[in-house]
Amino acid sequence: MKDKHLYNFLTILISAVWLVNGLVCKVLNLVPRHEQIIGRILGSDYSRPLTLLIGSSEVVMAIWIMTKFKTKLNAIIQIAIVAAMNVLEFVLVPDLLLWGRLNSVFAIFFIGMIYYNEFILNNCLKLQKSK
């Protein structure tokens, strides 16, 4: 039973990370650094619309996580997005990151949490159900 509670807690936490980063930081533009990062990587002419698009996509990701629809596919996509985004930022705009290149440590931790939640905890729960 504790595995189910941990799985649900981590699912909410992971979803909240996407929601806050998408809605609060990008859509509502409460952290302008995100738009600066996007502008430097993708070009400043369209940085605001692209920031809104990326932020909205992150909100959709948060909703998808909470629906628990196709969780393995969802986890794989999350891991790919976080890894790609952080490699780009690490190489192209480390000066705009909150903790510079150390942001990659947090990204690796977040990827590990997503992996653990889906491929270890959720698999354990499925095995327990089938018994």
What domain range is 64 assigned to? Answer: 2-130
Domain count, the chain: 1
Residue 1: per-residue pLDDT: 66
Q: What is the pLDDT along the chain (131 residues), one digit of tens a residue?
A: 689 999 999 999 999 999 999 999 999 999 999 999 999 999 999 999 999 999 999 999 999 999 999 999 999 999 999 999 999 999 999 999 989 999 999 999 999 999 999 999 998 888 777 76
Residues 6+ apart with CB under 8 A from 83: 107, 111
Indicate the angle between helix axes 47-67 and 2-19, nearest 10 degrees: 160
Of 74, 80, 50, 61, nearest in space to 21 by CA: 61
pTM: 0.93
